[in-house]
Amino acid sequence: MNKYLVVSVHDITADSRTQMINDLLFSSLRSLDVKPLTIAFIPAYFNAEGKIKNPEKRFGDKLKRLVGEGSVIAMHGYTHEKRGLFEREFNPCSEESARNLLDLGEGIFEELGLAKPTTFVPPFWQTSNDALAVLAQRYETVPVKDGVFDFKNDLFHPALPVYDSPALFSGYALGNLVGNARTRINVKFNDNNPLVRIVLHAHDQYQLEDFGIVRKLVYRYQEEGRQLVTYPEAMRRLYQDQLAAVDNTQR
Ligand SMILES: [Zn+2]
């Protein structure tokens, strides 16, 4: 069975508050040769006065450099806004609002010279059913809470054996992950999940050594034959692998 590893960085924005991880990402992870990455990029951001801003071109150039190295820039909402205690940017959200937000976000991709995104990571892993219908039409890969919805191949979804590694990622923000990784680094490397995801969040506080831990995890997994690919690539391959398995059993 083929096994895959996805390293993704969520909540990347042009906001100066996330510059630390941005800089680390753009320098350290690259120099540590952890690639390709899946970047969940929030196109617009709020400045100190709470105004919605578009990133400057040179921020787009940084992202383009990652794309040049094979990484994928997924769209992660428009502003990723949390409206009140339970309201999220795409939940509740009508089809029309979803379309508006996606148009705005994609407009920024275009402004920055980035290709139209094919992967959409819902902010807070939440969408309304209406928004989900729009997302499913527009994007090839849309992971949502508690798993992965492969919309194009929806029939296969229930059988698609995709899990997060319980040792590495269980829905915690990444500070926890790194905290866990520190204490559990020897605990559970030989799990048989076809897909393991390591997720970093741009707003969490990292130290350089944390990136060293990520690199170690990646190397260890690669030594076991796990292939580091982008999220949409993992989805495509898992689907192909599954088709091949079905083929074999019918022979
Ligand atoms: Zn997020």
SS3 content of the chain, % helix, strand, coil (to 5): 45, 20, 35
Res 118: pLDDT: 92
More confident residue, 38 or 144: 38
Show me where the domains of the chain are located: 4-250
Closest CA to 77 of 25, 119, 114, 16: 119
| H helix runs in the chain, sequence order | 19-24, 30-31, 57-68, 95-111, 129-138, 174-184, 208-223, 231-250
Q: What is the mean pLDDT of residues 178-203?
A: 53
CA–centroid distance, residue 168 to ligand 1 (Å): 18
The angle that helices 129-138 and 95-111 make with each other, rounded to 10 degrees, is: 40
How does pLDDT run across 94-153, given as a tens digit for each residue? 999 999 999 999 999 999 999 999 999 888 777 888 888 898 889 887 766 433 443 333
CA–centroid distance, 107 to ligand 1, in Å, is 19
**78: pLDDT confidence band, cut at 50, 70 and 90?**
very high
pLDDT for res 244: 84
Task: Read off the pTM.
Answer: 0.80
Q: Would the pLDDT of 159 be above 70? A: no
Q: Which CATH architecture has domain 4-250?
A: Alpha-Beta Barrel (3.20)
At 205, is the pLDDT very low, low, confident or very high (cuts 50, 70, 90)? low
Cβ(2)–Cβ(228) under 8 Å? no
Spatial separation of the C-alpha atoms in residues 54 and 48, rounded to whole Å: 13
Find the helix or strand (DSSP H, E) in which 228 lies.
Answer: strand 227-228
| 185 Cα: distance to centroid of ligand 1 (angstroms) | 25
Cα–Cα dist 39/74, whole Å: 6
Distance in angstroms (rounded) separating the CA atoms of residues 230 and 4: 9
Centre of ligand 1 to C-alpha 76, Å, is 7
Contacts of 185 by beta carbon, 8 Å cutoff, 6+ apart? 213, 216, 217
- Which residues line ion ligand 1, judged by CB < 5 Å? 10-11
For residue 199, report the distance from its CA to the centre of ligand 1, in Å: 11
Please tell me which residue, 223 or 171, carries the higher pLDDT value: 223
> Going by C-beta distance under 8 Å and a sequence separation of 6 or more, which residues neighbour residue 78?
42, 43, 44, 89, 101, 102, 104, 105
Judge whether residue 186 has pLDDT over 80: no
**CA–CA separation, 81 and 100 (whole Å):** 14
